[in-house]
Amino acid sequence: MTSTSAIQSAIRTDLIEKGPCTLEVLLNRLPQYSWSEMFAAIDQLSREGGLVLRHPTQFDYQVSATPVQPTFQPSANRSDAEGDDELPGRFDVGALVYKERVSA
């Protein structure tokens, strides 16, 4: 039995590389996994937002990967180009720095 995370990774990799497809096509693309393993992994991924399931016709489900969302984490000690050191309520998001209102 293969770990759920390995199956989820294989599903997302396949969908990212080859694009959206029907559930049946995805099952055929990854024959090394059983139907029940795939169903459990797809169910969990869809609940977590890792993929999208659509029901375009009465008998088909379309599966597609969702883009990876960047995580938003506060920066404890952040200095920006202007030299402001350790300003409370600032969060570093890539090259952008946003100020959060801080009550005085």
Q: Is the pLDDT of residue 67 over 60?
A: yes
SS (H, E, C) the chain: CCCHHHHHHHHHHHHHHHCCEEHHHHHHHCCCCCHHHHHHHHHHHHHHCCEEEEEEECCEEEEEECCCCCCCCCCCCCECCCCCECCCCEEEECCEEEECCCCC
Give percent of the chain above pLDDT 90: 50
Q: Is the pLDDT of residue 74 over 70?
A: no
Mean pLDDT in residue range 59-69: 83
Mean pLDDT in residue range 27-54: 94
Mean pLDDT in residue range 35-40: 94
Domain that holds residue 88: 70-104
- Give the CATH number of the domain where residue 24 resides: 1.10.10.10
Do residue 15 and residue 46 come from a single domain? yes
